[in-house]
Amino acid sequence: MNMPCIEFQPRPHTAAEPSEPPALMGLARLMAMAFQGTDLMPLAQTLIARATDDEHDANALMDLSTLLLLQGLRDIGLATQAQALACQRVFDLPAAHTPALRLLAVMTPGDLMTNAPLAFLAERSDVALTMLYVQPGEPLPHWLPPHDALWIAVSESDPVRGLLEDLSLACVDWGTPAINHPARTLRTGRTQACAELHGVPGLHIPQTIRADRALLQRLVRCESDPAELLSDGAWPLIIRPVDSHAGRGLEKLTSPFDLTRYLATMPDAEFFLSRFVDYASADGQFRKFRVVLVDGVAYAVHLGVSSHWMVHYLNAGMTESAAKRAEEERFMAEFDTDTGFARRHAAALRGIGERIGLDYLVIDCAEMPDGDLLVFEIDPGAAVHSMDPPDLFPYKRPAMEKVRTAFRALLERSVAVRPHLLA
């Protein structure tokens, strides 16, 4: 879908308007449509027509913003999101069944990586999701919409670090126990995570530093050596822009010449730098696991197998390879067995949970040849879903249902604690 710049001009209505605008479709539903290859243009046109007819139809604007972001149209998507938030700051995603629990997610404006996509966890359930958007630099509200459980859904990044600090204080004033307390989310930044997880038994995480262009130019000119910057530093190195996600700008550098070429193509001012770790298995393939900790218990999310060191599930060829899918199915089926992934890395996973302290945390990782768990990233906002075609991935939905059941139990425990704390 290739969308031009959109300006919404209200026009006279020729028919009676409904008493309430259509409900929000939300990220999970829209992303599933995009994932399945649905032609989104008719829906986009409908949403544009709604926003043209009623400039205050915030649900139409928010869903349109999500569609645009899903198509990679970031600037116009964020501009449309800003229009939606100018209309209102609270959005409701109805429960699929008779609502039994109201979850309030505190979020902030941004792209699809800015907030935890809780809609995937709440879909097809009795959880009604309310999303409250707060802006960095603005006073936080003294009141909250009605809710049973509160989740701070903002993920760590440079633009929102101040907001997370403010939210840490606000949680005290709000008097509601927060799932994923923002002070703990701050521990998940790339440099912070290295420090927090250093020394965890059975875990390997390379040191990561922030490097500006001046520091990197010293490497280019051979005035500095990787070992002077990183405790485990040596070529090759891994570099990526600060606050980049999904592999944007991520490269392996084997020499100062590679770094020279890289800097010539990247406009960013600051980068994350770490040592490259060769985690190839004996068969030469690279395997990246996604695991989620819910209340300290590990659950399987997916396994991507690729011949390239930079493994992304969507380009790992899982759809095309029955052998890879069979391996992923075994990973999920044996996850909790005596020889399964969760048991093999029990100490490392427990250490991550204890050191970071979040109620819900997604871990991207691999297995080292020596058996240690290699951690690439920890992020409470990474996607956990079951959008893959059930005919090719019949094992995915049962695994996701385990996560959703744990998610629902986590909400229930938060609700049970709340009256005690407020007494």
The pLDDT assigned to 235 comes to: 94
Instruction: With a cut of 50, say whether residue 80 has pLDDT above it.
Output: yes
The pLDDT assigned to 35 comes to: 87
Taking residues 100-105, report their average pLDDT: 96
pLDDT digits (tens, 9 = 90+) for 340-398: 999 999 999 999 999 999 999 999 999 999 999 999 999 999 999 988 999 999 999 99
The pLDDT assigned to 36 comes to: 86
Instruction: With a cut of 60, say whether residue 305 has pLDDT above it.
Output: yes
Contact 115, 108 (CB under 8 A): yes
Angle at 233 between CA 230 and CA 238, to 5 degrees: 95
Whether 229 and 307 map to the same domain: the answer is no
Classify residue 138 by burial, with Cβ atoms within 10 Å: 0-12, 13-18, 19+: exposed
Q: What percent of the chain has pLDDT over 70?
A: 93
Instruction: With a cut of 50, say whether residue 420 has pLDDT above it.
Output: no
The pLDDT assigned to 366 comes to: 97
Taking residues 232-261, report their average pLDDT: 89
Is 306 inside any structural domain?
yes
Whether 261 and 306 map to the same domain: the answer is no
Is 141 inside any structural domain?
no
The pLDDT assigned to 218 comes to: 94
Instruction: With a cut of 60, say whether residue 423 has pLDDT above it.
Output: no
Whether 310 and 237 map to the same domain: the answer is no
Place of tokens 């994932």: 35
Whether 251 and 332 map to the same domain: the answer is no
Instruction: With a cut of 80, say whether residue 112 has pLDDT above it.
Output: yes
pLDDT digits (tens, 9 = 90+) for 32-61: 999 888 999 999 999 999 999 999 999 999
- CATH number for position 226: 3.30.1490.20
Residues 6+ apart with CB under 8 A from 52: 8, 9, 10, 11
Q: What predicted TM-score, i.e. pTM, was given to this entire model?
A: 0.92
Is 296 inside any structural domain?
yes
pLDDT tier for residue 421 given thresholds of 50, 70 and 90: very low
Whether 339 and 388 map to the same domain: the answer is yes
Whether 212 and 236 map to the same domain: the answer is yes
Residue ending a domain, among 241, 275, 309, is 275
Whether 236 and 307 map to the same domain: the answer is no
Instruction: With a cut of 80, say whether residue 244 has pLDDT above it.
Output: no
Whether 244 and 291 map to the same domain: the answer is no
Is 419 inside any structural domain?
no
Count Cα atoms within 13 angstroms, Cβ side, for 355.
Answer: 20
The chain-wide mean pLDDT, for the chain, equals 92
Whether 248 and 339 map to the same domain: the answer is no
The pLDDT assigned to 219 comes to: 94
The pLDDT assigned to 190 comes to: 93
Is 127 inside any structural domain?
no
pLDDT tier for residue 243 given thresholds of 50, 70 and 90: confident
The pLDDT assigned to 18 comes to: 53
State the total domains in the chain.
3
pLDDT tier for residue 248 given thresholds of 50, 70 and 90: confident
Residue 32's domain comprises 1-10+21-88
Whether 35 and 81 map to the same domain: the answer is yes
Whether 261 and 344 map to the same domain: the answer is no
The pLDDT assigned to 7 comes to: 46
The pLDDT assigned to 176 comes to: 83
pLDDT tier for residue 5 given thresholds of 50, 70 and 90: very low
Whether 252 and 298 map to the same domain: the answer is no
Residue ending a domain, among 88, 117, 140, is 88
Is 420 inside any structural domain?
no
Residue ending a domain, among 255, 275, 295, is 275
Is 184 inside any structural domain?
no
Comparing 172-176, 323-327, 350-354, 414-418, the range with the smallest average pLDDT is 414-418
Q: What percent of the chain has pLDDT over 90?
A: 85
The pLDDT assigned to 2 comes to: 45
Is 408 inside any structural domain?
yes
pLDDT tier for residue 231 given thresholds of 50, 70 and 90: confident
